């Protein structure tokens, strides 16, 4: 039964070969040359430029000193090649530098494509690798720059180094899941390749595997990969993002060298060493995460990463090699962890943007030139005795050294009041280095302190005060690497504008007595200030004694006569000024001319007059009827210095007198008599 099956397969193979040969012979006429290229393999070159390989088994290898195949002399004439059914291997260097060849047809009996089989076939544009192929040898399609698309079938388990090296026209690539290792330089200089998918079957990525693939924009390395070879993605200038899984244990030197579009790198915790030149000249790299698993960073590892603004070095790193961060011009601050014991020559050379360097531990051994071209403030802990003056040098730059001390608050805002809608400003001042501030607030009736999230991280905190802020409490927490300090609580009051509801009034008082001016106002947290103006002057002077309340009282002197007064009522919102009032100071009146008795006939007018000195005098005449003791106020025309009446017989014997009054007192004139004759 087995013999019968083998016989049938042999007949089918022979039939296919005859059909192929018949079809070719029918289609092609005129043979340029022919011969053998293997034990049972023949070649025929037709005048049309087609090279036909027929027979069974493997083609011969042409990897000797001269790499000469039987058709090498016709290489410039070969336009197409057809590997016939039955051929199992394409020999090494078989089609080397067949630059005129544009297409090749490979039968599905081929399982091995030898080393450099199609190397230098720059005119080759069409390539289909059949599913029968198991192995693609080293450099098999090297410098096939015209090939645009490559689909490697799932049958392929071995992909040789430099297999597609220099396929610069390749825009599409499919790598099968059967591939476990991507060899050295396999896709080197495939600079038209825009996308790349690495299957989960791949365990290692060889040296320079995708170097100079300048069209690739992103790479997601699968979790199956354990190592990335040296220069694997070097000079992939469009590569902006790369994901490195924790399965990766080693990243070779130059792995991402000159990936000038790369912006972020997270090195997995599985990596213990960053090799030399790994990320050199990644000029757009802004952030890099170095895990605590890393103990060593090689020379030039991040050199020229001009956009890198910070380097969070773990304490597990013990040394910084030569030129490791040289030329990182975007670096503004640097913290050297406690584990660092040595910094090599030019480690941070030309980091021209570096302004702050902090050493967290003991003074490391720093080589000359380590900070060449750097002008920066450098901080260390003053309590650490290893930082002796002989250590605090310039190291090729201009370094200003300072010890970090615990912060101390020297001044702060007092309780603050502010008008609604206006700006409240709270301040704190402290001594110390590298201080950080955080303001907190507490609402009325609550015990929780809340972090101020907007503008709350500086020594001065400002806010637009609303009525809801009335009664808020504030405090500021200040810290640095040496310790912390907490300010006193600041109470904030938000007030409304003051209004005067009752104005002061002018006063006339006796010399030596008290004069009192009073103003009534509404508003929150009001303050008062009285001012006076002397007669004949324009200047208003502050009342310095007892002039800061709603009521102002003074003991009058003669000089106060004619003084004007006003009160300014204010709070944190605004101020309002009262009406201007006048103080009149008077003395007791004196009568200088007494009234005289008068005799008239009934019906005539009688006039009494009095003359007195004094200010703001008031007069009131009184009369007394004969035979009585009571003095009665003259109700008609009796309030001036002169009193006149039309007499009647009944007025005979009336007595008169005048009371002269002002604020200082009063005086009574002499009594005079009215005699009325019939």
Task: Please provide residue 2's backbone torsions phi and psi, each rounded to the nearest 5 degrees.
Answer: -65, -40
pLDDT in tens, 284-301: 999 999 999 999 999 999
Quick one: pLDDT at residue 18? Answer: 42
Q: What is the DSSP secondary structure assignment for residue 394, as one 8-state letter? A: -
Q: Which of 44-48, 61-65, 71-75, 88-92 has the lowest mean pLDDT?
A: 61-65
> Whose CA is closest to 379, among 361, 356, 395, 398?
356
Is residue 71 pLDDT above 50, yes or no? yes
> Whose CA is closest to 532, among 505, 560, 508?
560
Is residue 17 pLDDT above 70, yes or no? no
What is the spatial distance between Cα 619 and Cα 637, in angstroms, rounded to a whole number? 10
CB atoms within 10 A of CB 628: 9
pLDDT in tens, 373-397: 999 999 999 999 999 999 999 999 9
User: What mean pLDDT is predicted for residues 514-531?
Assistant: 95
Share of the chain above pLDDT 70, in %: 96
User: What mean pLDDT is predicted for residues 90-102?
Assistant: 96
Is residue 25 pLDDT above 50, yes or no? no
What domains are defined for the chain? 263-394 (3.80.10.10), 408-492 (2.60.40.10), 499-586 (2.60.40.10), 590-677 (2.60.40.10)
What is the spatial distance between Cα 647 and Cα 676, in angstroms, rounded to a whole number? 7
Spell out the SS3 assignment of 565-595.
EEEEEECCCCEEECCCEEEEEECCCEEEECC
Q: Give the chain's mean pLDDT.
A: 94
User: What mean pLDDT is predicted for residues 106-116?
Assistant: 97
Q: What is the DSSP secondary structure assignment for residue 233, as one 8-state letter? A: T
User: What mean pLDDT is predicted for residues 218-244?
Assistant: 97
What is the spatial distance between Cα 599 and Cα 652, in angstroms, rounded to a whole number? 9
Question: Quick check: 241 and 218 in contact, CB under 8 A?
Answer: yes
Spell out the residues 6+ positions from residue 141 whose beta carbon is closer than 8 angstroms to its own: 117, 118, 119, 121, 124, 127, 147, 150, 163, 164, 167
> Whose CA is closest to 295, among 310, 315, 309?
315
Q: Looking at the DSSP assignment, which residues form a beta bridge with residue 478?
A: 437, 485
Output 486-492 pairs: Cβ under 8 A, ≥24 positions apart.
487/409, 487/412, 487/428, 488/412, 489/442, 490/412, 490/413, 490/414, 490/415, 490/416, 490/426, 491/415, 491/416, 492/415, 492/416, 492/417, 492/418, 492/424, 492/426, 492/465
> Whose CA is closest to 581, among 547, 522, 616, 531?
531
Task: Please provide residue 296's backbone torsions phi and psi, each rounded to the nearest 5 degrees.
Answer: -145, 140
Spell out the residues 6+ positions from residue 208 whose beta carbon is closer than 8 angstroms to its own: 184, 185, 188, 229, 230, 231, 232, 234
Is residue 313 pLDDT above 70, yes or no? yes
- DSSP code per residue over 406-439: --EEEEE--SEEEETTSEEEEEEEEE-SS-EEEE
Question: Quick check: 341 and 316 in contact, CB under 8 A?
Answer: no
> Whose CA is closest to 142, among 193, 100, 96, 178?
96
What is the spatial distance between Cα 472 and Cα 482, in angstroms, rounded to a whole number? 31
Q: Which of 39-43, 63-67, 186-190, 208-212 has the lowest mean pLDDT?
A: 63-67
pLDDT band at residue 6 using 50, 70 and 90 as cut-offs: very low
What is the spatial distance between Cα 270 and Cα 193, in angstroms, rounded to a whole number? 30
Termini Cα distance of the chain? 187
pLDDT in tens, 314-357: 999 999 999 999 999 999 999 999 999 999 999 999 999 999 99
Quick one: pLDDT at residue 28? Answer: 64
Quick one: pLDDT at residue 367? Answer: 96
Q: From residue 223, how far is each of 178, 204, 493 by CA, in Å?
A: 16, 11, 60
Q: What is the DSSP secondary structure assignment for residue 165, as one 8-state letter? A: T
């Amino acid at each position: 039964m087995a013999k019968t099956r083998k016989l049938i397969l042999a007949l089918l193979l022979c039939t296919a070969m005859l059909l192929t040969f018949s079809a070719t012979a029918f289609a092609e006429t005129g043979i340029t040359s022919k011969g053998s290229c293997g034990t049972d393999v023949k070649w025929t070159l037709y005048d049309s430029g087609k090279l036909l390989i027929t027979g069974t088994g493997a083609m011969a290898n042409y990897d000797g000193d001269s790499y000469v195949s039987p058709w090498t002399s016709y290489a410039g004439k070969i336009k197409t090649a057809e590997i016939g059914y039955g051929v199992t291997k394409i020999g090494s260097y078989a089609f080397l530098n067949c630059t005129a060849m544009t297409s090749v047809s490979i039968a599905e009996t081929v399982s091995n494509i030898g080393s450099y089989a199609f190397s230098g076939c720059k005119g080759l544009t069409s390539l289909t690798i059949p599913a029968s192929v198991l192995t693609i040898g080293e450099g098999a399609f090297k410098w096939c720059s015209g090939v645009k698309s490559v689909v490697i079938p799932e049958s392929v388990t071995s992909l040789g180094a430099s297999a597609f090296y220099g396929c610069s026209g390749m825009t599409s690539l499919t790598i099968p899941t059967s591939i476990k290792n991507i060899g050295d330089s396999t896709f080197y200089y495939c600079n038209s390749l825009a996308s790349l998918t690495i299957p989960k079957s791949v365990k290692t990525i060889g040296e320079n595997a995708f170097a100079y693939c300048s069209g690739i924009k992103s790479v997601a390395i699968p979790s199956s990969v354990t190592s990335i070879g040296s220069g694997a993605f070097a000079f992939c200038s469009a590569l902006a993002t790369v994901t490195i899984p924790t399965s990766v244990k080693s990243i070779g030197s130059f792995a991402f060298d000159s990936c000038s579009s790369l912006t972020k790198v997270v090195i997995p915790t599985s990596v213990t060493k960053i090799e030399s030149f790994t990320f050199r000249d990644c000029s757009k790299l802004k952030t890099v995460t170095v895990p605590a698993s890393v103990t060593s960073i090689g020379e030039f590892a991040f050199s020229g990463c001009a956009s890198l603004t910070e380097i969070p070095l773990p304490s597990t790193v013990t040394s910084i090699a030569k030129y490791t961060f040289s030329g990182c011009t975007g670096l503004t601050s640097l913290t050297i962890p406690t584990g660092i014991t040595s910094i090599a020559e030019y480690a941070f050379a030309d980091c021209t943007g570096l302004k702050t360097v902090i050493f967290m531990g003991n003074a490391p051994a720093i080589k000359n030139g380590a900070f060449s071209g750097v002008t920066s403030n450098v901080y260390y802990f003053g309590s650490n005795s290893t930082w002796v003056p002989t250590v605090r040098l310039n190291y090729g730059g201009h370094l200003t050294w300072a010890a970090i001390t615990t912060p101390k608050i020297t001044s702060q805002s007092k309780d603050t009041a502010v008008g609604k809608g206006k700006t409240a400003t709270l301040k704190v001042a402290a001594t110390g280095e590298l201080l950080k501030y955080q303001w907190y607030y507490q609402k009325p009736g609550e015990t929780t302190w809340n972090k101020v999230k907007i503008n709350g991280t500086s020594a001065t905190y400002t806010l637009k005060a609303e009525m809801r802020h009335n009664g808020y409490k504030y405090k500021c927490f200040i810290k640095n690497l040496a310790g912390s300090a907490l300010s006193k609580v600041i109470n904030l009051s938000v007030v409304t504008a003051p209004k005067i509801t009752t104005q002061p009034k002018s006063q006339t008082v006796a010399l030596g007595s008290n004069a009192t001016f009073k103003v009534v106002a509404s508003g929150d947290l009001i303050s008062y200030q009285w001012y006076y103006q002397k007669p004949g002057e324009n200047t208003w002077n502050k009342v310095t004694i007892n002039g800061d309340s709603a009521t102002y009282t003074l003991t009058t002197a003669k000089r106060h006569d004619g003084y004007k007064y006003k009160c300014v009522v204010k709070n944190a919102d605004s101020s309002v000024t009262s009406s201007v009032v006048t103080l009149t100071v008077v003395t007791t009146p004196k009568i200088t001319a007494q009234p005289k008795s008068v005799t008239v006939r009934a019906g005539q007018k009688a006039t009494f007059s009095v003359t007195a000195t004094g200010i703001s005098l008031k007069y009131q005449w009184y009369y007394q009827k004969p035979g009585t003791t009571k003095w009665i106020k003259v109700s008609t025309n009796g309030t001036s210095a002169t009193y006149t009446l039309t007499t009647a017989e009944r007025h005979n014997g009336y007595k008169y007198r005048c009371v002269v009054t002002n604020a200082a007192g009063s005086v009574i004139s002499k009594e005079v008599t009215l005699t009325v004759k019939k």
